[in-house]
Homo-oligomer: A and B are copies of this chain.
Amino acid sequence: MKTTFGEYIRKLRTDKGLTLTELAALLKLDSANLSKIENGKREFNEKRLDKLATAFELDLNKLKTEYFSDQFAKKMFEFNCSSETLIIAEEKINYLKSINVKQSEIKF
């Protein structure tokens, strides 16, 4: 699982013996654009994650993990972020969750 998201899709597709055109149809997108996605020249739109999950009978949560980790890695690579960024990110998620709880408490 250390591949990019594009490489990941490609593997899924070829393992199932599908052509770009066939998978593109399932995902409701152009085969040329799917090619670009697999080669990392376009982004896969997160709105299509559920379609991808159904196409390959995958767990959506695993897919989200694969997808968003890819997004984050690309950003951090591009901007040369320290690996501490991910640690702080985790802290912030908890902070956001706690805020959310508080807000719910106030609301109801």
Residues of chain A touching chain B, judged by Cβ–Cβ distance below 8 Å, are 1-4, 46, 61, 64-66, 68-77, 79, 81-97, 100
Q: Which of B61, B64, B71, B85 contacts A65 (CB 8 A)?
A: B85
Tell me if A81 and B96 are in contact (CB < 8 A). no
Tell me if A86 and B73 are in contact (CB < 8 A). no
Chain B contacts of A69 at CB under 8 A? Answer: 85-89, 91-92
Tell me if A77 and B96 are in contact (CB < 8 A). yes
A77–B91 CA distance with the chains assembled, in angstroms: 12
Chain B contacts of A90 at CB under 8 A? Answer: 73, 83, 86
Chain B contacts of A61 at CB under 8 A? Answer: 82
Tell me if A81 and B95 are in contact (CB < 8 A). no
Tell me if A70 and B92 are in contact (CB < 8 A). yes
A76–B96 CA distance with the chains assembled, in angstroms: 10
A1–B91 CA distance with the chains assembled, in angstroms: 8
A71–B71 CA distance with the chains assembled, in angstroms: 11
For this complex, 28 residue pairs linking A to B, each with C-beta atoms less than 8 Å apart, are A1-B91, A2-B92, A3-B95, A46-B79, A64-B85, A65-B81, A65-B82, A65-B84, A68-B75, A68-B76, A68-B79, A68-B81, A68-B85, A69-B86, A69-B87, A69-B91, A70-B89, A71-B75, A72-B72, A72-B85, A72-B86, A73-B92, A73-B93, A73-B96, A76-B89, A77-B96, A77-B100, A83-B90
